[in-house]
Each structure stands twice: as C-alpha cells, then as structure tokens.
C-alpha cells in the first residue's frame, strides 16, 4: 500500500484517453491543436489572459519561472524548507545562471510577511549583495499546509511594494485550491502572483506540468529558454492533451478532492500524532521507529521524515480500503 508519494501514482483515465487521441494527430513541437488551445484554456480557468507552456517536470517549470523573474546577479526569496532549495539539485541556480536563494523561515514551510520582512531587512541595498528580485512560495507547502488567498495576497502586496516578481510553485496547486475554497484567480494573479507552476503529474497526470504566466510578456523569452533547456518536446501534443483532458470536466479538482479527503480521514485517526495540520494530501506524524516498523510490517509504504517522524501521502487513485486500513493502523499504534 503505497503512501510514499503522489509522484508514483498512475495517470488517470482521462489522461490515458488523451494520449491515445493525441496519437491520432501529428504535428511537431507545439504547433498542434492541443498546444494551441493551452493559452485559451488557462485564460478561461483564470479569468484573465494568460500564457501557458507545457514542460515535463515541475522542476523545469520552477526553473523557467524563476529565470523569467530574476537576473543572474539577483536573488530569490524562498523558504528554507522549500522544494526549490532542497529538492531540485540546484535547478533554480542552473536556470537563472547562478541567482542566489535567500532563505526565510516560517512555521510549516510557509513564508509570512514577517519572516520575509526580516530577511529583506537584513539585505543591504548595495552592489556587494545579490539584490532580491523574486520570491517564491509553494502552495500547498512541503508540509502540506495551504496558503489562503488572503495570505497569498499579503505576500503579493509585499512583493509589489518591493518590486519582487512573485512565483507560486503549485506542484500541488489543485490540492491547495480544493482546501482554500477560492477560485484559481483569487489564489494567484488577483493576489499578485506573476507566474505559477501548475502541477498535474502528482494529481493524475503523466508527464506534463503547466507554466502559467499572468504577465503574458514573460512568456516571450521563456519560449527560448524552454527550447534551450531541452524542454520543447518534438511531440508536445501529448503534453498539452494531458492537461486539457484534466481541465475538462474538472477532473483535476475531482482528483485533488479525492486525495485531500483521504488525507483528512487519516488525519482524523492520527490525533495528536499530527505534526502539522492536514490541509492537502500529506500527513506528517510522530512515530517511533518501532511504530514505523509496525506500520511497514502491515504493508504500508511511506517515507521517514527526520527522526521519529513520517510522511504519508494520499494519491488521487488511492484505494479507499487502503486509506481506511491505514487510518485504523495509525489509530491502533
């Protein structure tokens, strides 16, 4: 029973159908009908004109977004527990050509205006320091917490005041949105976000993530950067088709809701073992090594997350019986 990552889940039926449909039309790169529909589909979803590019990974989306917002000699504010800092092997530095990540704190891997302000207050405005040019948050965060639209907007205000480009790493954007009960627009550009890495892969996609620019002109140079990074697939139609299939009929929201609901069920069973509130599809619990071993002995697969802590992730296609079994097992520890 796999609870170690939503990265490992299957692609959902709508995606598999789309792959077959895309196999029947043939045009190279992003000249196909699906790719051409991306801007429109995402503009509709976000209720504003946007430009949307497919890429194969969230790491590429994040790297390209930060390169669009920060020059090589600039710096990017992020949380010290963020994916861009800890889990991308320096992709932001690669894509930005060596911009510096400035690390701020905040409970549950959430930045706050206060933690950001403290960091910026310690940054001198002189030529000896890489000047902050962008800021990135992850929604939902590495610890499964969700920034509300208001919280995003508070950071967006600060970015606006300081002239920082504002990026949201939305590897689990769908999970965040389902929890926050706001519109995609409210969560992003209305709150000041300039660019969004809109995740599909963890949510039932196969190999496509969208990079959405709310400042459409940022896409111009990004098209070249994408090619240059080897991310302009020659058969890009398969990527576009996947994402459109998930947007169609709100499959993406249904998938995320299923995952979040499963996580909520487990959270309810975990009680005071919870290390963080469970708002999306990840559960972090306190478990002793013996308890972790006991869970594994029952067939549950998950990651240790530091000493005495474990991470459990519920995927869009998680078997409800497995979820129930895990909830029971945790409660019984």
Cα distance between residue 233 and residue 65, in whole Å: 18
* Those residues with Cβ within 8 angstroms of residue 214's Cβ, 6 or more apart along the chain or in another chain: 46, 48, 50, 188, 189, 193, 194, 195, 196
Q: Give, as ranges, the residues between 235 and 274 that touch its own copies (CB under 8 A).
A: 235, 238-239
Query: Binding to its own copies by residue 49, rule CB under 8 A?
Result: no
Minimum distance of its own copies from residue 194's CB (angstroms): 18
Using CB under 8 A, which of 35, 42, 57, 281 touches its own copies? 57
Query: Binding to its own copies by residue 5, rule CB under 8 A?
Result: yes
Q: Which is nearer to its own copies, 134 or 153 (CB)?
A: 134
Query: Binding to its own copies by residue 299, rule CB under 8 A?
Result: no
Query: Binding to its own copies by residue 24, rule CB under 8 A?
Result: yes
* Those residues with Cβ within 8 angstroms of residue 111's Cβ, 6 or more apart along the chain or in another chain: 77, 78, 79, 104, 135, 137, 155
Cα distance between residue 44 and residue 279, in whole Å: 27
Query: Binding to its own copies by residue 141, rule CB under 8 A?
Result: no
Minimum distance of its own copies from residue 58's CB (angstroms): 8
Q: What is the sign of the dihedral through the CA atoms of 89, 90, 92 and 94?
A: negative
Query: Binding to its own copies by residue 21, rule CB under 8 A?
Result: no
Minimum distance of its own copies from residue 181's CB (angstroms): 27
The span of 175-183, 224-232, 273-281, 322-330 binding its own copies (CB under 8 A) equals 224-232
Q: Which is nearer to its own copies, 20 or 332 (CB)?
A: 20
DSSP state of 136: E
The span of 44-52, 87-95, 255-263, 291-299 binding its own copies (CB under 8 A) equals 87-95
* Those residues with Cβ within 8 angstroms of residue 162's Cβ, 6 or more apart along the chain or in another chain: 120, 132
Minimum distance of its own copies from residue 70's CB (angstroms): 11
Minimum distance of its own copies from residue 153's CB (angstroms): 29
Q: Which is nearer to its own copies, 8 or 277 (CB)?
A: 8
Spell out the alpha helix ranges (H) of the chain: 13-22, 33-46, 58-69, 83-86, 91-96, 113-121, 149-162, 173-180, 184-187, 218-228, 237-247, 251-270, 289-297, 320-331
Query: Binding to its own copies by residue 234, rule CB under 8 A?
Result: yes
Query: Binding to its own copies by residue 312, rule CB under 8 A?
Result: no
Structure tokens at 274: 């919870």
Using CB under 8 A, which of 18, 45, 50, 60 touches its own copies? 60
Query: Binding to its own copies by residue 130, rule CB under 8 A?
Result: yes
Query: Binding to its own copies by residue 201, rule CB under 8 A?
Result: yes
Could you tell me which of 171, 107, 158, 110 has the C-alpha nearest to residue 132?
158
Q: Which is nearer to its own copies, 46 or 95 (CB)?
A: 95
Question: Reduced to 3 states, what is the DSSP secondary structure of residue 170?
Answer: strand
Query: Binding to its own copies by residue 286, rule CB under 8 A?
Result: no
What is the CB neighbour count within 10 angstroms for residue 127? Answer: 8
> Do 260 and 179 touch, CB atoms closer than 8 A?
yes
Query: Binding to its own copies by residue 26, rule CB under 8 A?
Result: yes
Query: Binding to its own copies by residue 330, rule CB under 8 A?
Result: no
Using CB under 8 A, which of 125, 161, 181, 230 touches its own copies? 230
């Amino acid at each position: 029973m796999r609870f170690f990552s939503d990265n490992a889940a299957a692609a959902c039926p709508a995606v598999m159908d789309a792959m077959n449909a895309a196999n029947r039309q043939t045009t190279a790169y992003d000249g196909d009908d699906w790719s051409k529909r991306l801007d429109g589909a995402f503009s509709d979803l976000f209720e504003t004109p946007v430009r949307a590019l497919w890429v194969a990974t969230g790491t590429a989306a994040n790297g390209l977004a930060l390169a669009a917002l920060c020059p090589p000699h600039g710096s990017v504010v992020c949380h010290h527990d963020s994916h861009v800092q800890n889990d991308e092997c320096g992709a932001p530095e690669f894509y930005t050509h060596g911009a510096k990540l400035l690390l701020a704190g905040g409970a549950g891997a959430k930045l706050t205006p206060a933690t950001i302000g403290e960091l910026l207050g310690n940054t001198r405005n002189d030529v000896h320091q890489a000047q902050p040019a962008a800021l990135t948050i992850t929604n939902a965060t590495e610890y499964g917490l969700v920034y509300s639209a208001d919280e995003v907007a508070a950071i967006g205000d600060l970015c606006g005041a300081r002239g920082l480009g504002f990026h949201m790493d939305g590897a689990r954007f769908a999970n965040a949105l389902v929890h926050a009960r706001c519109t995609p627009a409210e969560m992003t550009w209305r709150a000041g976000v300039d660019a969004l890495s809109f995740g599909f892969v963890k949510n039932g996609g196969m190999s496509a993530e969208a990079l959405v620019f709310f400042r459409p002109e940022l896409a111009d140079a990004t098209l070249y950067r994408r090619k240059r990074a080897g991310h302009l697939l020659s058969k890009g139609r398969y990527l576009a088709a996947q994402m459109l299939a998930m947007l169609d009929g709100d499959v993406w929201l249904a998938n995320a809701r299923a995952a979040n609901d499963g996580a909520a069920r487990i959270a309810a069973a975990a009680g005071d073992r919870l290390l963080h509130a469970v708002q999306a599809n990840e559960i972090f619990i306190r478990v002793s090594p013996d308890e972790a071993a006991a869970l594994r002995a029952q067939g549950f697969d998950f990651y240790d997350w530091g000493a005495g802590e474990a991470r459990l992730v519920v995927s869009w296609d998680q078997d409800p019986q497995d979820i129930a079994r895990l909830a029971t097992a945790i409660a019984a520890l």
